[in-house]
Chains A and B, each alone.
Chain A
Amino acid sequence: MGAFVRPIAGLMSLLSITALQKSFRSPEGERKTIVDVPAFTLAAGQQLALRGESGSGKTTFLHLIAGILAADSGSIHIDGRDMAALGESGRDRLRAESIGYIFQTFNLLQGYSVLENVMLGMAFGAGSDQTRAAAMLDRVGLSHRLKHYPRQLSTGQQQRVAVARALANHPKLVLADEPTGNLDHKNARESLALIRETCRENGAALLLVSHDPGVLASFEAVQDFSALNRADQEAAR
């Protein structure tokens, strides 16, 4: 059980969630609550790991924060704007402008070059900036791979592209969903360090979910998602 970490007093919270609920209709027609988080906050620039087992609803939780899913009720304030109160295109815009997302499976666009992948991470927010994209790829050590395609890269390199993409748009908040789940031990360690360093350098807060004890151990602040989420864990997927 991780300690419940409150934001450091005096720091304005970047992410502030209250009474957030999300339920889905099961194939049998029953409504099942997946996420029921009464309160959660994350300070600007803070790095926090959430411990959660598979099926605990942590991906749904991150999708709600990112506005990929619409909340049933509650509020998700990100940098002063309530994601839960926005319509879909408003959520798309807020996500494009303020949030970087790192996936376990990288989710790189296979038909696009490494540079284009990173530029697309900016395209829907402030707009593509090739210099910035190239600088981010240089930062993650891939300046020699700009014209390559994802399939030409190792998995470790692919995740580094995903990290560059997530941070290219100067997000205030980076969400990472099991970012090391598909990597071997060495790559996982390096990738995790890279995510944390680049978030720090760019002034982005990091909210990472994982069930990997090795990953969790490297964080100063860790929370148990099961302690946060009151939804019936049996029902959660």
Chain B
Amino acid sequence: MKTIGLIILRSLRQHLLSTTITALSIALAGGLLMSVWVVKVQSQTTFTQVNTGFDAVLGARGSKLQLVLNAIFHLEASPGNLAYSDYEFIRRHPAVKLAIPIAVGDNLRGYRIVGTGPELFSDVEYVPGRKFTLATGTLFNPAAKEAVLGDFVARKLGLHAGDTFHPFHGLIYDEKNQHAESYLVTGILAPSNTPADKVIWIPLHGLQTMAGHDPRAATDVSAVLIQLRSPTAGFMLDMMYNKQGNRLTFAYPIGAIMAELFNKIGWFDQVLTLISYLVALVSAGGVLVAIYNSMAARRRDIAILRALGARRRTIFSAIVLEAAAIGLLGMIAAFAAYAVILTGVATVIRNQTGVLLNTWAYNPVMLWAPLGMIALCALGGLLPAWKAYRTDIAGNLAPVS
């Protein structure tokens, strides 16, 4: 075994260039495969679990998914407004534990300004047992032009408690649409790894009455975030708003609506998975070709080793194990590729949603992808190994006299 190890090591070194190139292609394939898998699984679990402490969202008639994306994830446009009386009604409904209104429609250099009530910070556990807390400063005064910033947006915009800013109208940043009002930053939230991190929170009233907003809609809200007393209440309200009513949409349960989104884009990660399988197959083929093509150069070494007493099966094993070793080296590097790809993807997702993926959480793919890739490479080594097995000693120990 020690001898086979030496033979493999020397052979890898003798064919350093092709070893490196094939190992790198494997690293890419393995990194891609693991990344696609982890992003798929992680984003699915993360986004179907993120509800920032709410069970349901009530909003204008439209798509439930759009409502959830807008109200919970602060993505997409708002499907429209609902009257303050609708908020009052649901707030008083016996099945509802807590109802918090939000209003959207302004931004600060692309980051959303959301109007809401202080109870979002005092009453809501965004994950069980954890409430939003301030890292610095104090909460806004609901009657003043004050703002509390999520940790992510505060860092991105470089704003601190005591700074002031002028909001911009609309959800998309356009420097021509600046409001005249000036807001004072009173505090920065501690990071929560939820979409709340990328939001600028101001009092509900402030957003409703921002200069230039339609005064007739000054009491309207964009959506109501709801905590229910029981799951059955959710189905009851679903029946009431969505089946019997036709004016509003009640999005419940949030996790199931997000899962639907992932089902809709499921074809996309199927394509990505298929591509990474193909890349894996091609790179295992690369191992085969690389070793196979070097057989002519190896034949003399093989004949010499055989002449020294090495058996055919020793030579065969050495080639198969060499192929597996290239796979192993590649998969070690694949974790580096994985780290790079996932850091990039996680940064994009964090920028877009404020949600941080757990990039290094254990996923079974980190075990089966390396093992599978190494096995695939060993499989690719079989053909050249067979050729090596069949190498004629006498004919390759030139010259014959």
Contacts and interface: CB of A to CB of B under 8 A. Distances in A.
B394 A69 contact: yes
9 contacts: A52-B401, A54-B401, A89-B312, A89-B313, A93-B311, A105-B398, A105-B399, A116-B10, A123-B310
Q: Which secondary structure characterizes the binding site on chain B?
A: helix
Contacts of A93: 309, 311
Contact of B394 (A54, A68, A89, A116): A68
A111 B10 contact: yes
Interface of B: 2-3, 6, 10-11, 13-14, 300-301, 303-314, 393-394, 397-401
A211 B399 CA distance: 14
A54 B399 CA distance: 10
A59 B398 CA distance: 10
Contacts of B307: 66, 68, 95, 101, 107
Given A120-B3, A128-B3, A107 B397 contact: yes
Nearest to B393: A68
A21 interface: no
Of the candidates B311, B397, B401, the one having the most CB atoms from chain A within 10 angstroms of its own CB is B401
Given A111-B10, A112-B10, A124 B400 contact: no
A125 B309 contact: yes
A111 B305 CA distance: 12
Contacts of A160: none
Contacts of B308: 96, 101, 120-121, 123-124, 165
B311 A124 contact: yes
B138 to A, nearest CB: 72
A58 interface: yes
Contacts of B303: 107
A59 B401 CA distance: 5
A89 B301 CA distance: 18
Contacts of B2: 123, 128
Contacts of B11: 111
B49 to A, nearest CB: 55
Interface residues of A, number: 41
A87 to B, nearest CB: 11
A59 B309 contact: no
Interface in A31-56: 52, 54-55
Nearest to B303: A107
Contacts of A52: 401
A111 B14 contact: yes
Contacts of B301: 109-111
B3 A107 contact: no
A209 B401 CA distance: 9
A112 to B, nearest CB: 6
Contact of B312 (A88, A96, A97, A103): A88
Contacts of A124: 3, 308-311, 314
Contacts of B313: 89
Contacts of B310: 92, 96, 123-124
A209 B399 CA distance: 13
Contacts of B401: 52, 54-55, 58-59, 104, 177-178, 181, 209, 211
A151 B305 CA distance: 18
A121 B307 CA distance: 9
A60 interface: yes
A77 interface: no
A161 B304 CA distance: 14
A125 to B, nearest CB: 6
Given A103-B397, A165-B308, 13 more contacts: A52-B401, A55-B401, A68-B306, A93-B311, A95-B307, A101-B307, A101-B308, A107-B397, A110-B301, A112-B6, A120-B308, A125-B309, A178-B401
A58 B10 CA distance: 33
A145 interface: no
A59 B312 contact: no
